[in-house]
Structure 1
């Protein structure tokens, strides 16, 4: 009686080829994912600070002084909070309240800004996003900070926000 016991399975070469292919795919996918994450974080924070435009415009047009926090209501009842609730991607130590810095809140040329914080990707950490109102009432967005040495790429900046 002749019993044939043929072994079945993958050879070592076949397994090494599969591992090599997975390694190549990971080498391409991981940097792309990191770029996507950084771009999404910048876009999210730009959207969050841009959402304050209507509140700021309403407060300014009613004669109020736009501030990040209304701690001095007894001293100046015209000061009204812009409505910022904060973001986990923003540095809370920056600015007046939850990471928001309001400048010239009583003037038509007011600005507010936030700085990307520790929860943000390393390549966008420290970037300052500033929304500015012109005398004519037009708003612009600008970003400062972020160097190539830390991993910043100009493609992270949304089309509506200029990086310098």
Structure 2
């Protein structure tokens, strides 16, 4: 009588474990990068309130504010924001170590029609910056 094989051999199991290890080695860093980018995009969302306050001030007075209080926003800190300030005629929002200390700079300008437009630049960890802030 011929005995039939039941189950997997040791080599087959070792190959499966190796394949799973390779996939995990690729997937885990990609996922970590994705979560950091998502958090970095949140910096831009958090700055939207400050952008609205500054734009309102510019439209109302025709001038740039001299400080954050005059612009109508407060410095705020969260799990991913270590600070937000009005400096050098722009909003600077600084991320924490969770987003590799990324700094987004939002610079206002006015059009001939009086509308306020924003230019975003990034430093610190440019690969994490939202697409609108990359040069």
Give TM-score, length-normalised by structure 2. Answer: 0.74
Q: Which has the higher helix share?
A: 2
User: Which residue of the partner structure matches residue 53 of structure 1?
Assistant: 51
Superposition RMSD in Å:
2.8
**Does the Cα contact within 8 Å between 1:90 and 1:117 map onto a contact in 2?**
yes
After TM superposition, give the deviation of residue 67 of structure 1 in Å: 4.0
User: Which residue of the partner structure matches residue 107 of structure 1?
Assistant: none
Residue correspondence of structure 1 range 15-164 to structure 2 within 5 A: 15-63=13-61, 65=65, 67-68=67-68, 70=69, 79=70, 81-82=72-73, 85-91=76-82, 99-103=83-87, 110-118=89-97, 120=98, 124-136=99-111, 137-146=116-125, 153=127, 156-163=128-135
Q: Which has the higher strand share?
A: 2
**Structure 1 alignment gaps of length 5 or more:** 1-5, 71-78, 92-98, 105-109, 147-151
CA–CA separation in structure 1 for the residues paired with 2:71 and 2:60: 11
For these two proteins, the number of residue pairs brought into alignment is: 126
Give TM-score, length-normalised by structure 1. Answer: 0.63
Question: 1:98-128 CA deviation, whole Å, 9 max, x = no partner?
Answer: x112126xxxxx311021113x1xxx41221
